[in-house]
Amino acid sequence: MERQQIPPSAPLAMTYVPWQEWNSLFALDEALRCGTLFKTLYKPFMGGGR
């Protein structure tokens, strides 16, 4: 099987990264426990599909 060559001008990916707003912040001790300073980024893992 022959590998297909990617043209040098082809973009590998495109991203969209919104500006993080400095509001809704955790207190520092809670931020360390949650893994983020920003409440809007806090997404706790709920294992088992619950």
* Percent residues over pLDDT 90 in the chain: 40
Structure tokens at 5: 């060559």
Residue 49 has a pLDDT of 65
Whole-structure pTM value: 0.53
Q: Write b or e for each residue in 2-14: b if 16 or more Cβ atoms lie within 10 A of its Cβ, otherwise e.
A: eeeeeeeeeeeee
Is 14's pLDDT higher than 90?
no
